[in-house]
Amino acid sequence: MKKIVVTGAGGFIAGHLVKELLKEGYTVRAVDIKPLNEWYQVFSDAENLVLDLRLRENCCQAVNGFNEVFNLAADMGGMGFIENNKAACMISVLINTHLLIASRDCGIDRFFYASSACVYNGDKQTDPNNPGLKEADAYPALAEDGYGWEKLFGERMCRHFMEDFGLITRVARFHNVYGPFGTYDGGREKAPVAICRKVIEASITGNKEITIWGDGHQTRSFMYIGDSIKGIIDIMYSNIEEPINLGSSEMVSINQLVDIVEDIAGYKLERKYDLNAPRGVRGRNSDNTLIKEYLNWEPSIPLVKGIEITYDWIKEQMAEGSKDKKEINKFNN
């Protein structure tokens, strides 16, 4: 039976990944820098370690005796966070570098790296009507400052460890991921959950106004967490040696995203646009040609369905009076 390390396990995506791997019967070591009481999901049948993976010796402790690594650890958040914390985002390069070295030295068989659509050339994202970013659009390199460059460097490290040392590496470029059991407040949240929270707060307080960062015409695609987890696992165990998009091709504007949340809430708001707020690129979407060719699959859960599930979860947490409730799951196979 495979023994799998998941890093960043106290976070949103990796927490769901741990749950799925346990469900499939694997032995899982879950690792995160945060204290256990700050993890979004904790599973009693995983080995849960609190380690700072920026330190090489901790990476050796994390992977020693195991077979595979899913590296989802990084200091990151939504656009507001990454635009104001570029150095902190860049320091995450130590995590992937030290994990790769430890994986090579400890005989890890297979290594997954969570990259980002922020690696893509910014000049290809100036039009809201983005036709979809192909994997080749990462070069010539003009990545998102800070976070995007860290991810692009991490991709190159994976490639060269595979070429030079024979470590099997797989890289997925995540587009926006959303769903339950993640942050929706505090500064690291991303657009779908932030808008859900704002609409819920307004409906509770009777406020009739919502502030939107930018002019609302900027476009993105948003992938539900269930699709993300399937994609991660399928890519890990595929023959795809190059970085590949993992994202929905259902592109919407931020204004359209607000429309969806308002319809779910049954609560309409007057929109106030903050043109000085962080807004990122004008248009970003995932071209899924390659993943369909390789896997005969692409993320497909409709945005309306996923947002409704997410909205209900955030509303429940807020109703319980905890803005960032950390739920302890007792998962038994």
Residues that are catalytic: 147
Element (H, E) at 31: strand 27-32
Select from 153, 223, 145 the least CA-distant residue to 190.
223
Eight-class DSSP state of 144: P
Cβ–Cβ < 8 Å for 53, 59: yes
User: At which residue do the structure tokens 């609190």 appear?
Assistant: 50
C-alpha pair distances (Å), 218 with each of 53, 86, 215, 270, 275: 35, 22, 7, 18, 12
Question: Which residue blocks in the chain are alpha helix, DSSP H?
Answer: 12-23, 56-63, 79-84, 86-91, 93-106, 147-165, 191-205, 225-236, 254-265, 289-295, 303-319
